[in-house]
Structure 1
Amino acid sequence: MAAFDYKALNGQGKQVKGVIEADSARHARSLLRDQRLMPLEIEAVVSKTSNQASSGFSLFKPKVSVAELALITRQIATLVAAGLPVEEALKAVGQQCEKAKLASMIMAVRSRVVEGYSLADSMAEFPQVFDELYRAMVASGEKSGHLEVVLNRLADYTERRQQLKSKLTQAMIYPITLTIVAIAVVAILLAAVVPQVVGQFEHMGQQLPATTQFLIAASDFVKDYGLIVLAVIVLAIVAFNRLLIKPQFKMKWHTIVLDLPVIGKVSKGLNTARFARTLSILTASSVPLLDGMRIASEVLLNVKVRAAVEDATARVREGTSLGAALTNTKLFPPMMLYMITSGEKSGQLENMLERAADNQDREFESNVTIALGVFEPMLVVTMASIVLFIVLAILQPILQLNNMISG
């Protein structure tokens, strides 16, 4: 059976939407008529999403947030642990979903399971929701017979990722807002306030101080070319994002990012923490080490670190230990390398990877806190310096005028 999205009219003439399971579109229409509904549109969920994926149009693809994915995973794990078959657990979760598109996706996965496909293969119909990491862990859980345990680990992982994302978002709101407000205040001062004040000094007939002349020139530039500069900045950002599509440029840029004083440390910490966390849950789910390293490398954001991990994977395949292979990358912190090497020697790699991941998460949060702690006072000092310069540039002609009158 397959899942179909439908639009139909009920007995009162109102349009209703939903998901129905049927062998074909004709069977779906028949089932709707049995429910006293007049079918208007019938469309298979899987074929619809695959067509959208092939066309590259993503507006109507099922959008699932990290929090929703964690909730779905936790619900499926709980129902499977309670002894329900996978298809029944999926049906129950799909019926509880408030979002129609999310319910359609889950019912489509269920229809594939009913046809005889594994849960991991069924989820492969929606790669934009269930990535390779997710599917690999589900596949390992199905093979080992501990699907509920693996799903609970996945739920923990997605919830932890959501918490980290939330912390980063909250941490960045204040400095971004402060930066935007600071730029806007300076622009308004130069474009609207300064010309009215400084214009009063033009009739003095004497040469204005250098600071005042510079302020007038800056004000004129903002008035004449401010919008042009803003447009150039926007175009530069768009062009830069397009250049990032090219692998060679992206590699060069990510290499530069890793070498930056503060940002580089934060970026390196984020990627190494993500690698350690991903590899730890894959290893705990009985995924082979080489497959785990390959999958973990694909979730890294920095392509330079990703390439280094791929090179380390090749070294491990040739017989090198994991600790030695990661040491050769010169990107991972010494404490993490020591813990991994210790885990390999003691046969406790799974536990040591988890501890290394926890340690990296704490270090990453500490680096972000330090970076923001440095940035915020620097921005305040910069703003205060600019305002002080504007005030001095305005006061100097006034003091000159007072000296002329008193003289």
Structure 2
Amino acid sequence: MIFSYRARDAAGVFVKGTLEADDRNWVVESLLRQNYTIVELKEDKNKEKEQKASLNITLFESVKINDLSLFTRQLSTMVGAGLPIVRSFQILEEQTKNPMLRRAVGDISTSLEGGLALNECMEHHPKIFSPMYVSMVKAGETGGALDTILSRLADTLERDREINAKIKSASIYPIMVLCVALLVVIFILTFVMPVFIEQFSSSGAELPAFTQFFMNISYFIRDYWYLLLIGIIVLAVGLKWIGRQPLGRMFFDRLYLNLPIIGKAVNRIAVSRFTRILGTLIKSGVPILEALEVLKGVVGNRVVSDAIGKARDSIREGQTIAAPLAATGVFEPMVTQMIAVGEETGALDDMLERMSSFYDNEVTFAIEAMLKSMEPAMIIFVAAIIGSIIIATYLPVFNIIGAMS
């Protein structure tokens, strides 16, 4: 609910504004904490309608990691320069280009004026600010080093952006090859192969079973292409829905880790994100149990996430960090051994940062190796399909020649 208020501040000056809250009592307490004397307080139905309309718009909008990292870097610079936090958000609201982020910044600015802490304001926008982001901001506010924490956050986001860019660039080639191969196969099956085969069929000769198999596919594509299109759409939507379910997500994430070519890259990406974010959270002053809870939602792989959850439960019972992580079997021995050394020397955050730098480079090498391995595999796959079609097309000719001889 959104409440509009009019009040007098400590100097007796009239002020007015709006606050979003679950109940009226919270708004009253918030205004009293600011030494306001409430003159009028009521629920604003018009503002609620505007908010619902804006929420409908945000269904088709998103905040890219580039926008969020730029926003974080700018906020860090302003806070570090001594600018008041409310004034910083007012400036950012004017210059932020992304509509969804600009509305969130405006809402946070209003909430800050209402007496909320920055991390509490950001919690109201979970689609933009992840639990990791909110936890680090909370640690920065508590420790009085918000500008430093925001700078580290910006570094983390920029590194994630680099990794995402590498993954996208690596996936462009196989996707293009698959699309071109699919179009070529459909063209050959639909337009080229039937012309040759119909000449043999008109003579009354029986087609070989291999040729008839491809001809049946050709007839199906030609006569029932719309069913094929519907089937592809249903399959894509179905797989996406299954991937969002807990068991389906676990199945696919485990499959990704075990694939011969892709598995190593997926593992490197998960470990790189784990070490980098855990190191950043610990250095920022976030307690280890809270840091591991945050990590469960940001590593990007359900198998690794469950392993972190089991490690967190073991640590709560008094064990070290390295032992339960090693027991999960997800992390390489080097990772757990270096974490153990970091615990023994009291420099766990530095050790994690060293590992994150190492695994960031490993991600680059793994993606390049995956791409190099996939290139010949894709070529062989496409050649095998087109070669099979060609053989099926000319197989009746070979049969006729053999019969004549």
The normalised TM-score by structure 1 is 0.81
Q: Which residue of 2 aligns with 1:311?
A: 310
Please say if 1:333 is aligned against 2:332.
Answer: yes
For 1:324 and 1:338, the matched residues in 2 are separated by: 9
Q: Which residue of 2 aligns with 1:110?
A: 109
Q: Which residue of 1 aligns with 2:158?
A: 159
Q: Which amino acid aligns with 1:105?
A: A
Q: Which amino acid aligns with 1:166?
A: A
For 1:166 and 1:290, the matched residues in 2 are separated by: 31
Decide whether the 8 Å contact of 2:58 with 2:100 is kept in 1: no
Q: Which residue of 2 aligns with 1:350?
A: 349
Q: Which amino acid aligns with 1:160?
A: R
Decide whether the 8 Å contact of 1:62 with 1:102 is kept in 2: no
Q: More deviation in 205-214 or 93-102? A: 205-214
Q: More deviation in 115-124 or 199-208? A: 199-208
Q: CA deviation at 1:186?
A: 0.6
Q: More deviation in 176-185 or 387-396? A: 387-396
Q: Which residue of 2 aligns with 1:193?
A: 192
| 1:325-357 Cα shifts (integer Å, max 9, x gaps) | 110110011222222111111111111101111
Q: CA deviation at 1:81?
A: 1.0
For 2:391 and 2:165, the matched residues in 1 are separated by: 42
Please say if 1:23 is aligned against 2:22.
Answer: no
Number of residues of Structure 1 aligned to a counterpart in Structure 2: 370
Q: CA deviation at 1:181?
A: 1.2
| 1:25-51 Cα shifts (integer Å, max 9, x gaps) | 9xxxxxxxxxxxxxxxx9649x85589
| 1:171-213 Cα shifts (integer Å, max 9, x gaps) | 1111111111111211111111100122122344545555544
For 2:52 and 2:282, the matched residues in 1 are separated by: 31
Q: Which residue of 2 aligns with 1:391?
A: 390
* Structure-2 change in CA distance of 1:262 and 1:123 (3 Å): same
| 1:228-269 Cα shifts (integer Å, max 9, x gaps) | 344323323322332334323433443344333333333322
Q: CA deviation at 1:396?
A: 4.7
Aligned alpha-carbon RMSD (Å): 3.1
Decide whether the 8 Å contact of 1:308 with 1:329 is kept in 2: yes
* Structure-2 change in CA distance of 1:234 and 1:100 (3 Å): closer
Q: Which residue of 1 aligns with 2:183?
A: 184
Q: Which residue of 2 aligns with 1:367?
A: 366
Q: Which residue of 1 aligns with 2:277?
A: 278
Q: More deviation in 213-222 or 338-347? A: 213-222
Decide whether the 8 Å contact of 2:166 with 2:367 is kept in 1: no
For 2:50 and 2:163, the matched residues in 1 are separated by: 33
Q: Which amino acid aligns with 1:228?
A: L
For 1:61 and 1:184, the matched residues in 2 are separated by: 31
Question: Percentage identity across aligned positions?
Answer: 31
Decide whether the 8 Å contact of 1:52 with 1:61 is kept in 2: no
**Aligned counterparts, 1:1-400, within 5 A:** 23=17, 44=47, 49=51, 59-60=58-59, 63-208=62-207, 211-398=210-397
For 1:81 and 1:304, the matched residues in 2 are separated by: 39
Q: CA deviation at 1:373?
A: 1.8
Decide whether the 8 Å contact of 1:76 with 1:89 is kept in 2: yes
Decide whether the 8 Å contact of 2:67 with 2:98 is kept in 1: no
Q: More deviation in 306-315 or 266-275? A: 266-275
Q: CA deviation at 1:22?
A: 5.5
Q: Equivalent residue of 1:23, what SS?
A: strand
Q: CA deviation at 1:369?
A: 2.1
* Structure-2 change in CA distance of 1:171 and 1:43 (3 Å): farther
Q: CA deviation at 1:391?
A: 3.0
Decide whether the 8 Å contact of 2:243 with 2:249 is kept in 1: yes
| 1:70-111 Cα shifts (integer Å, max 9, x gaps) | 111111111111111111111111122234443332122112
Q: CA deviation at 1:227?
A: 4.0
Q: Which amino acid aligns with 2:199?
A: Q
Decide whether the 8 Å contact of 1:120 with 1:138 is kept in 2: yes
For 1:154 and 1:75, the matched residues in 2 are separated by: 12
Q: More deviation in 140-149 or 269-278? A: 269-278
* Structure-2 change in CA distance of 1:298 and 1:101 (3 Å): closer
The normalised TM-score by structure 2 is 0.82
Q: Which residue of 1 aligns with 2:38?
A: none
| 1:341-397 Cα shifts (integer Å, max 9, x gaps) | 111111111111011112222222322222222222111112223323333444454
Decide whether the 8 Å contact of 1:133 with 1:295 is kept in 2: yes
Decide whether the 8 Å contact of 1:215 with 1:393 is kept in 2: yes
Q: Which residue of 1 aligns with 2:30?
A: none
For 1:3 and 1:362, the matched residues in 2 are separated by: 51
Structure 2: gaps spanning 5 or more residues: 5-14, 20-44
For 1:74 and 1:3, the matched residues in 2 are separated by: 32
* Structure-2 change in CA distance of 1:215 and 1:255 (3 Å): closer
Q: More deviation in 370-379 or 202-211? A: 202-211
* Structure-2 change in CA distance of 1:22 and 1:177 (3 Å): farther
Decide whether the 8 Å contact of 1:312 with 1:325 is kept in 2: yes
Q: CA deviation at 1:139?
A: 1.0
